[in-house]
Structure 1
């Protein structure tokens, strides 16, 4: 079979590296897959760049052709232009590449796949299918009458009706989709996969990173990976970091891996009362993330609670668990908040209940003194976030050609 794999992030985006590339390797390994065309959406400076796969990435069957977004000062007009132009460009790629179907990563990419189906009736599947429109609405990023919300909501409804297969990232959402009338045989849960071996704890990396940062071996280090704002806490996150600093005392250190401007994050940490020497902020390439996680003792997943958040699967939580880190997480985050509480993978806090944060930090502290806690938590990633879940879903859903 020939597959056009449609992502929604740039080739060099960390989400592409962490969530798309592992699935491309699974597909490439199948003997019934003859060729894969990866299509990404490039924005900003990357839209004009000469883009290539990173050295070492196996591409025997994979070709690459980006969609390049035109710069615009108005984000709404920019997205409208993308969703009117990109379907036509994809139709041209289909004529050239001749895929059997489109496999879209995420509901926004699924919207483009649907718009191509509308023109030429090319079958499509959507993995990492989530209620993206409601995520953005409930996070305050979009408003109910924002054209982006209205169109995305409609396109998600059409994906549910027309996609040959949907792969939601949370079991909670699979059950919801079946209740909405999507045939159960067309829906398989595939949480955001993590290569647990790549993220496994390394004592050598831990010592090396701490020595480079001049952090003591006995320091308690909390790590946060990702952006601030949007669907994530912003000022509130730094309040949580400060609470951790107060709980663990002068030896606490905060490690932040983020695409946000370093100086801006440092300013926010200082405003929260966290000493400059206790914070290290870096924009790290994805392949360096495991070493930084090894240097930490626990992790933050400061995702804004919202009703639809129980349908998500944060890749960062899978990576944290693979490194053996207990996670401080709000309630109702996908299937993960319940797993953290029930299976020892961390502790849940609710900013609406002020006493819950110090209590959760106390539970994190109790985990840190358990012998072998990292190995036990690593097994959560093996059980719940294995790339084998995607392999099984592809076997169940994709056609035999």
Structure 2
């Protein structure tokens, strides 16, 4: 089987190297070839490292620049141009399956398939893009851009030979919108990470990492890893750290982010002493050891319709590293995946809720840190390992191929 994975990526994090390439490498059968076609705002800047990683895995990789303005006409033109690109690429490389990730590549694929009657469609919905624009980007759900993307989304779900989502909630939403039965080819696939990379480590390894931060083994260490846009609530992350420090004055907050200025502003606004937090940008390969050295992973988000389709990558990383998780209720399937042995879900981010969570952390998590480490690692392997994701992708590939993998 020759599969072409098509993505449309803005200026945010690039998940090809950290997420998709490892999953494709593990889920391919002998003889399968996965091609990558990435439409990106900063294609030239992104391409070198991804191309090198793809070449190591024997995956052909191509980038195309994105026309960005004016937004609506440029996007429509890109869908048409992308469809032409796909037709040419499929014919040149004898592709069997088109796999668009999200709505705009799906629009390209739907148009291209009019001229490719024998090519199959595996739609990786990966979130609710139109609803995310409405929830956080100021779009109106009555406006033409939103309705256009929703039309493409439902058309892709109906046309696809198989569909991938990240959560069971997204599966129900997409099936309902497309008026499909729940079992009509929709497969839930986790954002899995390598359990050999994201792992708890040994006590000496954790101690060594803490010494780099000038922290003792007894210091309660909170960690946040990832982007810090408004809907990740950096101000409330800092407020939670303040609530913990009210109970344990030696507690420390570690923020690993590409947006250090946002983190510094939030910490300052909450009155945190500069010695009570560390904010730094670290290479991706160093993130697992910092997570493993911590005691609690933070993952706040604004709950909304679009966030029901999200499987936060950082939650899987935290759990695989043995970290209990403090997260927001209503995000993806976390309400079902986390329980009292692995985390705490917040219905609110107000001061009272954060103080209750701080009490849980200091009174229940810290005295039982090792049992929490064991249960969190087990939960991470159950839901968020690379092996789990690869098996789920193989299920989707099976539905395309109509055969069972050995």
The two structures have a TM-score, normalised by structure 2, of 0.85
Partner secondary structure for residue 66 of structure 1 = strand
The question of whether the paired residues in 2 share the 8 Å contact of 1:222 and 1:298 is answered with yes
Once the two structures are overlaid, the 10-residue window that deviates more, 349-358 or 53-62, is: 53-62
> Are 2:72 and 1:90 aligned?
no
Match of 2:285 among 284, 287, 298: 287
Aligned residue number for residue 394 of structure 1: 394
Residues 1:177 and 1:357: Cα distance change in structure 2 (over 3 Å) = same
Equivalent in the alignment of 1:66: 63
- 1:118-168 CA-to-partner distances (Å, cap 9, x unmatched) read 554543212353222113312355333555433322211111211111121
Residue equivalent to 1:20:
20
Aligned to 2:34: 36
Alpha-carbon distance in structure 2 between the residues aligned to 1:18 and 1:78:
29
- Partner Cα separation in structure 2 for residue 9 and residue 284 of structure 1: 22
Structure 1 unaligned residues grouped into runs of 5+: none
Label 1:182 to 1:129 Cα distance change in 2 as closer, same or farther (>3 A): farther
> Using a 3 Å threshold, how does the CA distance of structure 1 residues 289 and 123 change in structure 2: closer, same or farther?
same
Q: Secondary structure at the match of 1:201?
A: coil
The 1:246–1:123 alpha-carbon spacing in structure 2 relative to 1, beyond 3 Å, is: farther
What is the CA distance between 1:256 and its match in structure 2?
1.5
- What is the distance in 2 between the residues matched to 1:254 and 1:233? 15
Q: Would you say 1:163 and 2:160 are equivalent positions?
A: yes
Partner SS state of residue 180, structure 2: coil
1:152 corresponding residue in structure 2: 149
Q: What is the distance in 1 between the residues matched to 2:287 and 2:8?
A: 22
Which stretch shifts more, 328-337 or 360-369? 360-369
Written as runs of structure 1 = structure 2, the 5 A alignment for 1:331-346 is 331-341=329-339, 344-346=341-343
Alignment CA distance shift 1:60-1:312 (3 Å): closer
Give the Cα–Cα distance (whole angstroms) in 2 for the partners of residues 302 and 239 of structure 1: 12
SS of structure 2 residue aligned to 1:153: helix
Structure-to-structure mapping, 1:80-159, within 5 angstroms: 80=76, 82-118=78-114, 120-121=116-117, 122-127=119-124, 129-144=126-141, 148-159=145-156
Alpha-carbon distance in structure 2 between the residues aligned to 1:116 and 1:333: 34
Aligned to 1:330: 328
Offset from partner CA, 1:233-256 (integer Å, 9 cap, x none)? 344444344334434x33122111
- How far is 1:355 from its partner? 2.6
Report what 1:189 is aligned to.
188
Q: Deviations over 1:3-61 (max 9, x none)?
A: 11123348994522332122221244x1241x2211223323x5356614486777353
Q: Find the partner of 1:358 among 338, 355, 358.
A: 355
Instruction: Answer with 390-399 or 310-319: which moved more.
Output: 390-399
Q: Give the aligned partner of residue 221 of structure 1.
A: 221
CA contact (8 A) 1:10 1:16 kept: no
The answer to which of 356-365 and 55-64 deviates more is 55-64
**Contact 1:5–1:102 (Cα < 8 Å) also in 2:** yes
Instruction: Determine if contact 1:170/1:312 at 8 Å carries over to the other structure.
Output: yes
Q: Which runs of 5+ in 2 are unaligned?
A: none
Residues 128 and 375 of structure 1, relative CA distance in 2, 3 Å threshold: farther
Tell me the TM-score normalized by structure 1. 0.86
The CA deviation at 1:110 is 3.2
The root-mean-square deviation of aligned C-alpha atoms, in Å, is 2.9
Which whole-Å CA distance do the structure 1 matches of 2:134 and 2:68 have between them? 25
Matched residues in 2 for 1:31 and 1:37: separation? 15
- Number of positions where the alignment pairs a residue of Structure 1 with one of Structure 2: 394
Q: 1:89 & 1:58 partners in 2: Cα distance?
A: 21
State the 1:221 CA deviation: 1.3
When residues 259 and 107 of structure 1 are mapped into structure 2, their CA distance, relative to the original with a 3 A threshold, is farther
Q: Distance in 2 between matches of 1:196 and 1:48?
A: 29
Is the 1:172–1:310 contact (alpha carbons within 8 Å) kept by the matching residues of 2?
A: yes
Distance 1:285 1:106 in 2: 28
